Amino acid sequence: MKKTTLSLLTALAAASALALTACGGGDETPSGSPSPGNTGGSSEAPAAEPVTITMSGWSLETTPEFQVLADAFHAANPDVTVEIKEYDANDYGTLMLADMSAGAAPDIITIKEAKALGQWVDGGQLLDVTDVVSGLASNVSGAGSYTIDGVNYAAPYRQDSWVLYYNIDLFAQAGIDPPDGTWTWDDYAATAKELTSKLGGPKGAYEHSWQSTLQGFAQAQTPGADLAGGQDYSYLKPYYERVLDLQDSGAQEAYGNISTNKLTYQGQFGKQEAAMMAMGSWYVATLLAQQASGEADSFAWGIAPIPQYDSSTTGTDKVPVTFGDPTGLAINAGIDESKLEAAKAFLAFAASDAAGVALAEIGIVSSVASDAVTAAYFGQAGIPADDLSKFAMSTHDTRPENPQSPNISAIQTALGEAHSAIMSESSGIDEAIAQATETIQAEIG
Amino acid sequence: MTTQPIASAQLSAQPGAVPTGRGQGRRRRSSLRWHNTLRGWSFIAPNFIGFAVLTLVPIVVLFYVALTKWGALGDPEWIGLDNFVKLFTRDPRFNTALWNTLYYTALHMPLTLAASLGLAVLLNQRIRGAAFFRTTAFFPYITSIVAIAMVWNLLFSPDYGPINQILRFFGVDNPPGWTVSSTWAMPAVIVVGTWREMGYYMLLFLAGLQTVPRELYEAARVDGAGAWSRFWHVTVPCLRPTTFFVTVMLTIGSMKVFDLVFVMTEGGPGRSTLVISQLIWQQAFVEGDFGYASAIAVVLFAICLILTIFQFWVNRRVER
Amino acid sequence: MSRAGRKRRSIGSRIGLVALYGGLAAAAVFLLLPFFWMISSSLKPDNQVFTVPVRWFPEVFKWSNYVDIWTKSGMADWLKNTMILSVVVTALQVFTGSFAAYGFSRIRFPGRDVLFLGYIATIAVPWQAYMIPQYKMMAAAGLVDTLWSIILLQAFGAFGVFLMKQFYETIPEELSESGRLDGLSEYGIYRRIMLPLSVPAIASLSLLMFVTTWNDFLGPRLYLRTPAHFTIQVGLKVFQADPQGSSMYGLMFTGSVLSVVPIALIFMAGQRYFIEGIATTGMKG
């Protein structure tokens, strides 16, 4: 009954809005109506007829991965065309939610942030694609981030993870040995301080202001850390103590300056303001492009595994633990029956070896781990080709930053507040963590 | 001396209040009333229809959503007053945001009112270059908010910012950390908010100043009134309708403040500058709880309504 | 004031004048500082916009930003769309607002004051809270991704009604009364007496509405999806990538500088309408 009230009001308003628009208007196809190709005829043969499916993407000019996937799929399946609908990169979640609420979302919905998945699944927007995901090869990672109660809602095509970038030239200038894959965070901190004092200009390290640059590691690496549990966040403390020490000793830019001056990590590392930086693997492609265009200085750099919690996971004979969320593709629950087959085929394709190679060639880290993909990735012009860089990019245990849990957004918001309070040193570590825990428990309880 | 020329004009008849002769009776009056209603609505209708369809309907929906659990997708689930109960009993963040918003409003509103009125009076004079300075005063309002945040954060920078350097020069040993201090972040935001909006409200006061009859100033001068006395006894009373408008808009605008705070501090450090509008945004679009976000919006609406009614009441009293 | 009086005060007032201009000039610098930083940033390479410490002047001047913005983006389309929206919304708001304000301020009918209060109170509801229901309506009407959606969104607010009503209250009722005696209808009084007298208010309402529409971001961001339909503020976000990409901050500020220019010009040109007291001359009668 309540639903009727709401829809009645909406219909009423829509009717009057229609009257107002009679004088002119756009070429907008009304939401939800099937596209021209599928209205006529009751032909049931799915594969024979040409099908067009739509897919969401963002910043198409600087993010070519969607078009690459669409083109590669079309080349392999000439009957199916994938059309990309562009969204704004920074407001993707909001705009997608609005389109979903109006029934105007595309057939294939790209999952930009794993955090949003739960809300969309609750709202009945995404199709169960367990059959597609269970059919994926065993070398595809990241599907776990899209699993709720044992059901898969998206297939990952991209899996970034966090690594350590370092400036070889600055290390040489300071006369300090570059990372060798055996570092714990304490080694990292000691080197950062040494670098800073020897370089006398550039800082030893740069840590961007996001909460994930610290909490992501603490949560992925600390044994027993339980983000979704809402009980105990004291595992963050050693990580904060180390970073505050670095900040106070001037070995990394102060959080206050980063946040108030809106510093960009691309500028800090690319213009050689810092010798080391923990950042996601996506930055490889950006740095290559910026060095080529002159936007970044030209210097030699390398990639090392991210420093570890303790020595039990360090060294190139072990698997370093890091974190990262995948990017995946989901299917709109309201998709036209005739397009379903094609959409599922596209999901499976995006997580295949062939797609992985196509993505790797443009610098995207595919969710597929295979020799062919790695070879394609390191075929990019200008990419560091040393063994440690290859090891860092291909060998890691990547834990999800946002494990699926009904309260994950609320938890992350509260911990984000703690992050800014601690890093700006406007409250103590214990105090801020206690406040966050209290807030989270009020939310969960 | 005439201090209330407008109020007295207003007390004179309006069409609906035209005194009717004794013998004309009730029928005449009710038909007049009917006529006035029709005429009044004919004036209001063009705006009201658009307003009702596009704003009123969604707001009515919002009031309904506040009583439900709704994630913007699917059907709302009726939960009665649960959202409000949670709001007032177990959401520490709401209390902080409400307090911060009231704090912002309590300082930002009077400061901006005074600054914009002062600017308007100053720049309404016939001084050379006034046109340039008026445009300049309006610039903060049209400059990109990112640029504003950037430059002000620089000015407020705890270690090497000019503001703290001046404070140190005047013997303040331990100047505040401004936007990275939980105590001083809000005052910093208030200063920038005032700086940014005073040009906007100045414009309204400038328009209002044009309605002050020149003769009143001349009469006051003849009576030997000084500049301050003329301001207080002529300008202020004549500007009352404008002042009322600015006060109401400023109060509501302050209660709804969002973008400036967000760009300058993102609500931090911690939650020391978290305001109600940001909380609504977080609850709706980050946490996907539109029912709860709507409930917060309803509370904000109620507070603003009370403040507005109070301002109307004060305005009426001053009018008399 | 007599000539002698003017002379006697000249030295004192000259010092005062110097102080006044000194103060004004200092204030102007203070007010224009962020704008200056914006211009400076519009000439920088992307990686040098946000730095510690802040750089007030570019190391290398990247003048090409001012050429690139026209060739690499839909700036011309965006300017055109923004101009259309600002003009139409302002015109609608001024017309319907001043018309409705007359009803609220000069005609007494039952329920008027409550209705008016309701109008104003809705301003207090943050748009984010009801944008989804509103979006559903607009989508049902097929208006998403058209300029119509923004026109409808902006044109019927309570702001103009409230502003004009407050202004009408400063116009003496006797003027309307004499109009009525001359046989003017209420509509005639509105058009012949109130409108001409409220030029300063209409001018400031127009300017404020124009600026608001020009700078509006959230509404156009939600509704306008095709780059060719963007307004400037939405278009400029094209240059700002998500955290994983590389933003073109230089171009973003180039666009911001360009988007301020039309407003500044309109402000300069429109000033005389809310400064020169047209209303006062009318009120002498």
C205-246, pLDDT tens digit by residue? 999 999 999 988 888 999 998 889 999 888 888 887 777 777
Of B14, B50, B203, the CB nearest to C108: B14
Q: Does domain B91-319 have CATH number 3.30.420.40?
A: no
Q: Can you tell me whether residue A105 is helix, strand or coil? A: coil
Question: What is the helix (H) or strand (E) element at residue C65, kind and residue range?
Answer: helix C65-71
End-to-end CA distance of chain C: 25
Mean pLDDT rounded to a whole number for chain B:
85
The CATH code of the domain that includes C226 is 1.10.3720.10
Chains in touch with A (3+ beta-carbon pairs under 8 Å) read B, C
How near does any CA of chain A get to the CA of B257, in Å?
A: 19
Q: Which chain B residues are closer than 8 Å to A5 by Cβ? A: 64
Minimum mean pLDDT among A198-202, A394-398, B31-35, C4-8: which range? C4-8
Beta bridge partners of A322: A398
Q: Can you tell me whether residue B42 is helix, strand or coil? A: helix
Q: List, as own/partner pairs, every contact residues A31-37 make where C-beta atoms lie below 8 angstroms and the sequence separation is at least 24, other chains included.
A: A31/A99, A31/A102, A31/A103, A31/A104, A31/C139, A31/C140, A31/C144, A32/A103, A32/A104, A32/A334, A34/A336, A35/A336
Rounded-to-integer distance, Cα B20 and Cα B227, Å: 45
Radius of gyration of chain A (CA): 24
Of B53, B61, B146, the CB nearest to A16: B53
How near does any CA of chain A get to the CA of C23, in Å?
A: 29
Contact B72 A123 (CB under 8 A): yes
Contact C274, B206 (CB under 8 A): yes
How near does any CA of chain C get to the CA of B174, in Å?
A: 22
Domain residue extents for chain B: 91-319
C218 reaches A (C-beta below 8 A): no
The whole domain housing C116 covers 66-283
pLDDT of residue C198: 86
Q: How far is CA C184 from CA A375, C35, C103, C189, C196, in A?
A: 86, 50, 16, 6, 15
**Does pLDDT of A194 surpass 80?**
yes
Same domain assignment for residues C21 and C132: no
Q: How far is CA A442 from CA A190, B69, B270, in A?
A: 39, 18, 17
Q: pLDDT category, B248, cuts 50, 70, 90? A: very high
Q: Can you tell me whether residue A396 is helix, strand or coil? A: coil
For B159-180, what is the mean pLDDT? 84
Q: Is residue C28 part of a domain?
A: yes
Q: Can you tell me whether residue B25 is helix, strand or coil? A: helix
Same domain assignment for residues C13 and C144: no
Q: How far is CA A290 from CA A131, A351, C45, in A?
A: 41, 28, 11
Note the ipTM here: 0.85
pLDDT of residue B1: 34
Q: Can you tell me whether residue A169 is helix, strand or coil? A: helix
Of C50, C152, C237, the CB nearest to A263: C50
Contact C283, C168 (CB under 8 A): no
For C134-139, what is the mean pLDDT? 90
C59 reaches A (C-beta below 8 A): no
How near does any CA of chain C get to the CA of B307, in Å?
A: 10
B109 φ, ψ to 5°? -65, -60
**Does pLDDT of B11 surpass 60?**
no
Q: Which residues contact B146 (CB under 8 A, 6 or more apart)?
A: A262, B263
Chain A, window 345-374: residues with a beta carbon less than 8 angstroms from a chain C beta carbon: none
Q: Can you tell me whether residue A162 is helix, strand or coil? A: strand
Q: Is residue C115 part of a domain?
A: yes
**Does pLDDT of A240 surpass 80?**
yes
Q: Which two tokens stand for residue B302?
A: 């109620």
Q: Is residue C113 part of a domain?
A: yes
Chain C, window 139-178: residues with a beta carbon less than 8 angstroms from a chain A beta carbon: 139-148, 152
Chains in touch with B (3+ beta-carbon pairs under 8 Å) read A, C
Minimum mean pLDDT among A352-356, A367-371, B73-77, B255-259: which range? B73-77
Same domain assignment for residues C199 and C261: yes
Q: Which residues contact B183 (CB under 8 A, 6 or more apart)?
A: A426, B176, B272
Chain B, window 266-295: residues with a beta carbon less than 8 angstroms from a chain C beta carbon: 276-277, 280-281, 284-285, 290, 293-294
pLDDT of residue B24: 54
Rounded-to-integer distance, Cα B164 and Cα B167, Å: 5
Q: pLDDT category, C9, cuts 50, 70, 90? A: low
pLDDT tens across C84-101, in order? 999 999 999 999 999 999
Q: Which chain A residues are closer than 8 Å to C155 by Cβ? A: none
pLDDT of residue A27: 38
pLDDT tens across C141-179, in order? 999 999 999 999 888 888 999 999 988 888 888 888 888
Contact C142 A95 (CB under 8 A): no
Q: Which chain C residues are closer than 8 Å to A28 by Cβ? A: 142-146
Same domain assignment for residues C12 and C115: no
Q: Which chain C residues are closer than 8 Å to B142 by Cβ? A: 211, 215, 260, 263-264
pLDDT of residue C281: 38
Entry pTM: 0.86
Q: Which chain A residues are closer than 8 Å to B268 by Cβ? A: 259, 417, 420-421, 424
Same domain assignment for residues C24 and C133: no
Pairing of strands A274-280, A203-206: parallel
Same domain assignment for residues C95 and C129: yes
Q: pLDDT category, B218, cuts 50, 70, 90? A: confident
Rounded-to-integer distance, Cα A233 and Cα A194, Å: 31
For A396-424, what is the mean pLDDT? 91
Q: Is residue C21 part of a domain?
A: yes
Q: Which chain C residues are closer than 8 Å to B13 by Cβ? A: 173, 177
Same domain assignment for residues C28 and C161: no
C217 reaches A (C-beta below 8 A): no
pLDDT of residue A175: 94
Q: pLDDT category, B19, cuts 50, 70, 90? A: very low
Q: pLDDT category, B9, cuts 50, 70, 90? A: very low
**Percentage of residues in chain A having pLDDT higher than 70:** 89
B310 φ, ψ to 5°? -60, -45
Of A25, A258, A290, the CB nearest to C143: A25
Residue of B nearest to C155 (CA): B50
Q: Is residue C60 part of a domain?
A: no
C34 reaches A (C-beta below 8 A): no
DSSP A129: -
How near does any CA of chain B get to the CA of A346, in Å?
A: 26
Q: Is residue C53 part of a domain?
A: no
pLDDT of residue C108: 86
Contact B258 C278 (CB under 8 A): no
What is the total residue count of chain C?
285
Q: Helical H runs in chain B?
A: 5-11, 25-51, 57-65, 82-89, 92-123, 130-142, 145-155, 162-169, 185-209, 214-222, 227-230, 236-238, 240-255, 259-265, 276-281, 290-319
DSSP C126: -
Same domain assignment for residues C125 and C236: yes
Mean pLDDT rounded to a whole number for chain A:
87
**Does pLDDT of A47 surpass 70?**
no
Q: Is residue C56 part of a domain?
A: no
Contact B46 C110 (CB under 8 A): no
Domain count, chain C: 2
Contact C140 A11 (CB under 8 A): yes
How near does any CA of chain B get to the CA of A111, in Å?
A: 15
Contact C166 B245 (CB under 8 A): yes
Task: Using alpha carbons, select from A162, A152, A209 the residue that is nearest to residue A188.
Answer: A162
Radius of gyration of chain B (CA): 25
Rounded-to-integer distance, Cα A387 and Cα A316, Å: 10
A270 reaches C (C-beta below 8 A): yes
A248 reaches C (C-beta below 8 A): no
Sketch out chain A's domains with CATH numbers. Answer: 51-160+325-369 (3.40.190.10), 162-323+392-444 (3.40.190.10)
pLDDT of residue A8: 47
Rounded-to-integer distance, Cα B297 and Cα B303, Å: 10
Q: pLDDT category, A377, cuts 50, 70, 90? A: very high
Q: pLDDT category, A357, cuts 50, 70, 90? A: very high
A139 φ/ψ sector (left φ>0, alpha ψ -120 to 50, else beta): alpha
Question: What is the helix (H) or strand (E) element at residue A279, kind and residue range?
Answer: strand A274-280
How near does any CA of chain B get to the CA of A53, in Å?
A: 22
pLDDT tens across A424-444, in order? 988 999 999 999 999 999 888
C-alpha dihedral (B188, B189, B190, B195), degrees to nearest 10: 90
How near does any CA of chain A get to the CA of B151, in Å?
A: 8
Task: Using alpha carbons, select from B240, B205, B233 the residue that is nearest to residue B217.
Answer: B233
Same domain assignment for residues C102 and C157: yes
Task: Using alpha carbons, select from A161, A114, A157 the residue that is nearest to residue A281.
Answer: A161
Q: Which one of B47, B55, B246, B315 would you mutate to disrupt binding with C, by most C Cβ within 10 Å of its Cβ?
A: B47
Rounded-to-integer distance, Cα B104 and Cα B262, Å: 14
DSSP labels for B108-176? Answer: HHHHHHHHHHHHHHHHTS--TTHHHHHHHHHHHHHS-HHHHHHHHHHHT-TTT-HHHHHHHHTT-SS--
Q: Which chain A residues are closer than 8 Å to B60 by Cβ? A: 9
Chains in touch with C (3+ beta-carbon pairs under 8 Å) read A, B
Q: Which one of B86, B179, B183, B285 would you mutate to disrupt binding with A, by most A Cβ within 10 Å of its Cβ?
A: B285
Contact A195, A170 (CB under 8 A): yes
Q: Which chain B residues are closer than 8 Å to A3 by Cβ? A: 75-76
A41 φ/ψ sector (left φ>0, alpha ψ -120 to 50, else beta): left
pLDDT of residue A23: 37
Beta bridge partners of A83: A54
**Does pLDDT of A291 surpass 50?**
yes
pLDDT tens across B34-90, in order? 888 888 888 988 999 999 989 999 999 999 999 999 888 888 889 989 999 999 988
pLDDT of residue A407: 85
